[in-house]
Amino acid sequence: MKALSVEKMSIRFGSVTVLPEVSFEVAAGECFGLVGESGSGKSTVLRCASLLLSSWQGEVRIGGVPVREMPLMERCRTLQMVFQDPYGSLHPRHSIRSVLSEPLRIHGLDDREARMAQALEDVGLPPDFLDRYPHQLSGGQRQRVAIARALILEPAVLLLDEPTSALDVSVQAEILNLLARLREERSFTYLMVSHDLAVIDHMCDRFAVMQAGEIVEVLPRDAIPSNQADAPYARELIGASLTYERAL
């Protein structure tokens, strides 16, 4: 179990300041949500934390160690990311076996077959799926493979970038249950981006509301049903979500 802390993270793309200065803390084993409208910088926070973007200022620590100072191999074994669109995040010409075996090979891990079978079992897929290609899988199955790929190096922190927004409600339920079960079994720390407050309420202990690259408020999940937000934008967002759900 490792805690994650983001201190004064800021990034600009050209003349546009996408994140002026973002700081928050995620306790070890917590599920922390990031919500906000599109373009508010939620995904950028994850991309910076995972060093998919590197030109940012500030500090991200996992278990007290700054991610920038971790050697690449150690970083990959500490933090992994699951992307939004399972249709775009798996290589169409790589079988599931090559998707899952590549990280094992790079990290020189043994028992590859057993580890791959275990990873598939963890996400509830049968072992013979190893020889399939992404186009032979449904959206929910692909997202399970993407989660298996993130799990296979046994990281401590998972960054989830809208893991269910490309999926149907019925499939979303399966993936959310899977993520909740894995967190219980392995005490992962989750940092989860979503635009759906019902999903955040279901999964997260606390969440931050973002607007124009800044965190306007951090709230516990219990603040949602009665809309206890103080920041005007957070109130508006929660209010809109509540109206949307209860409009009748």
Q: Which residues bind another protein (CB under 8 A)?
A: 37-38, 139, 168-174, 176-177, 180-181, 195-199, 201-202, 224-225, 236-237, 240-245, 247-248
Smaller CB separation from another protein, 37 or 154: 37
Contacts of 123 (CB under 8 A, 6+ apart): 144, 145, 147, 148, 151, 178
**Which residues pair with residue 220 across a beta bridge?**
206
Smaller CB separation from another protein, 113 or 168: 168
For the sheet with 4-13, list strands across it: 16-26, 4-13, 57-62, 65-66
- In the chain, the DSSP E strands lie at 4-13, 16-26, 31-36, 57-62, 65-66, 79-82, 157-161, 189-193, 206-211, 214-220
| Closest CB 241 distance from another protein, rounded Å | 5
| Closest CB 245 distance from another protein, rounded Å | 6
Contacts of 230 (CB under 8 A, 6+ apart): 217
Rounded CA separation 109/76 (Å): 13
| Closest CB 159 distance from another protein, rounded Å | 20
Smaller CB separation from another protein, 115 or 144: 144
| Closest CB 209 distance from another protein, rounded Å | 11
Smaller CB separation from another protein, 58 or 139: 139
| Closest CB 228 distance from another protein, rounded Å | 12
Smaller CB separation from another protein, 101 or 241: 241
